[in-house]
Amino acid sequence: MKKVFIDGPISPEFISESIRKHQTKTDIGAHNIFLGQVRADVVNNKTVAAIDFTCYEAMANEILTDIREKAFKTFNLTCMHIYHSLGTVKAGEICFFVFVSAKHSSEVYEATQYLVDIVKKKVPLFGKEIFEDETHQWKTNK
């Protein structure tokens, strides 16, 4: 099982290092990246300052293994990486990073959309949206 969960925000340095590591894989002709960022939503005049993510890791790891297998069967990918934050991620920071690589561009667009949607729908992650006044609400995906 590849490491998916990262404590705290996913740093720009981590993302750039991920890109750099692929420069030795010269059979790749196309990368596509999706970055999910914590949004400072305003709800009832209160602004979201951060999201605290938790996860049912035993179940999440099984589901992510299935998602990986299905993605490789469905799309002609060279490699793929999924990372998601656990713990507190402030507004403006990155909490979700999907990185898909293939020989050609058409495959990576479709695969990225598939992965983003299925992770949001199937992986047991929970987000507590913490407002600037330290009250909170539970995040729901649209």
Give the binding site for another protein (CB under 8 A): 36, 53-56, 58-59, 62, 84, 95-96, 116, 119-128, 138-141
End-to-end CA distance of the chain: 29
Output the CA torsion sign for 115, 120, 126, 127: positive
C-beta of 108 vs 123, nearer to another protein: 123
CA distance 31 to 19: 9
Q: Supply the minimum distance, in Å, between the C-beta of residue 5 and another protein.
A: 11
Q: Supply the minimum distance, in Å, between the C-beta of residue 139 and another protein.
A: 4
C-beta of 19 vs 59, nearer to another protein: 59
CA geometry: angle 119, 8, 118, nearest 5 deg: 5
C-beta of 55 vs 102, nearer to another protein: 55
